[in-house]
Amino acid sequence: MSLQPAFEIVLEAHGQTVTLRASLRAAVTLDAMPGGFPQVHNQISRLSYTAIRAVILATATDRQAAHRFLAASADMPLRESLPDAQAACLAVLASILPQPDEAAQSRATTAEAMPLRAYFQTLYEYATGWLGWTPAEAWAASTTEIEAAFAAHVDRLVKMTPGMSGDQSTRSASTTYTAERLREIDDLGHDPAFDRAAFAKFKARHRRHDLHPDPSMVI
């Protein structure tokens, strides 16, 4: 996984600007729309004004700015305003979707793909329960940012636990705890690379109390 800042793009119309950001909040909101990501992407590709408006509102860093932008663009002919908005929305959608880890792509696996809704919920739990981020911080972060931070957190815990870190010079790609590998470990229910029971005891001693999403935000 290559870490990059969360994707952002600025749209402008008649002096009004709005910044679209590929945040976890946007991801959950868009996936909850009828038909989920596939249907939203299909509608955007067909230049649906309704879908484009929904994506702009879901991804805007400032909702009031989004409404001002939409009001300003409403005075423009659709053939002038829609193409730029369409391109921006498609770019945001593409950046939200998780990118497979290169190492994981080269390994054969029988694990079933995690549904997007479950993937986004897991990221929220990682951010608030493991990393101690506030809900606002978790919702504003991108999926890539959360994955990178969580992988680093787990790697630190492994290194801090006696008998787990081992000789760093002999660690192979199979024991590198990328976000993709962590998901595979969860699917398998065990990790042969280290003593999971010992790690669970260590985690219980040092982890912060898990936070849970607000009921209105449950995915």
DSSP codes, 102-130: HHHHTS---PPPPPHHHHHHHHHHIIIII
Position 1 in a domain: no
Indicate the pLDDT class of residue 206, thresholds 50, 70 and 90.
very low
Same domain? 180 vs 212: yes
pTM: 0.66
Q: What is the largest CA-CA distance in the chain?
A: 66
2 φ/ψ angles, rounded to the nearest 5 degrees: -100, 120
In a domain, 149, yes or no: yes
Domain that holds residue 89: 8-96
- For residues 81 and 107, state if they share a domain: no
Q: Residues 85, 162: one domain?
A: no
Distance (Å, whole) CA 48 – CA 30: 15
Residues 107 and 209 reside in one and the same domain = yes
Check whether residue 106 and residue 86 sit in a common domain. Answer: no
Give the position of tokens 């005075």. 75
Whether residues 128 and 209 share a domain: the answer is: yes
77, 96, 115: which is the final residue of a domain?
96
**pLDDT of 124-146, one tens digit each?**
999 999 899 999 999 999 988 89
Q: How many domains in the chain?
A: 2
80: nearest Cα among 72, 89, 91: 72
Encode pLDDT of 12-48 as tens digits. Answer: 888 899 999 999 999 999 999 999 988 999 999 999 9
Last residue in a domain, options 72, 96, 120: 96
Type of residue numbered 203:
K
What span, in angstroms and rounded, lies between the C-alpha atoms of 45 and 82? Answer: 11
H/E element, 9: strand 8-13
pLDDT for the residue 156: 81
Are 138 and 197 within one domain? yes
**What's the whole-number mean pLDDT along residues 172-201?**
54
